[in-house]
Amino acid sequence: MEYLTSRKVLHGDLAARNLLLASNNVVKICDFGLSREMYRNYVYLKKSNEMMPIKWMAPEAIEQRIFSIQSDVWSYGVTLWEMFTLGNTPFPGVPLNQLGKALVKGMRLEKPKYCNDQM
């Protein structure tokens, strides 16, 4: 992700399903279908109404359709949560149409069982 940021690329769909494990346990990011170049203002405003990966999106991306490098950082945190829960789906039981408002109000994922305090 640091490399993508240095190249001014917004991934837009970081999730465990879009990670590949290569030799020597090197993790590679794939599926750049939602990626965008961020050369001008480092922010992307989504105008179309296609389906989006809501459970991995930052609150501002859900509520205002604004994507940035910071929204990729949020997705990275959700992806780490997926890994530490051994593949659970984030925000279980929360209806997608209520997730944005719940996040704005402060709802967050709980610390996974297999995640130590250092992480």
Q: Is residue 86 situated within a structural domain? A: yes
72 is catalytic: no
What is the pLDDT confidence band of residue 47, given thresholds at 50, 70 and 90?
Answer: low
Per the structure, the count of domains in the chain is 1
**pLDDT above 90 for 50:** no
Q: What is the pLDDT of residues 65-116, one digit of tens each?
A: 888 888 889 999 999 999 999 999 999 999 999 999 999 999 999 999 999 8
Q: Is residue 50 situated within a structural domain? A: yes
Q: Is residue 38 situated within a structural domain? A: yes
Q: Is residue 112 situated within a structural domain? A: no
User: What long-range pairs does 78-86 form, CB within 8 A, spacing at least 24?
Assistant: 78/15, 78/109, 79/14, 79/15, 79/16, 79/19, 80/119, 81/109, 81/112, 81/115, 82/15, 82/16, 83/16, 84/112, 84/113, 84/114, 84/115, 84/119, 85/112, 85/113, 85/114, 86/114
From 13, 31, 72, 117, the catalytic residue: 13
**pLDDT above 60 for 39:** no
**Residue span of the structural domain in which 64 resides:** 2-104
The pTM assigned to this predicted structure is: 0.83
Q: Is residue 119 situated within a structural domain? A: no
Q: Is residue 118 situated within a structural domain? A: no
The enclosing domain of 31 has a CATH number of 1.10.510.10
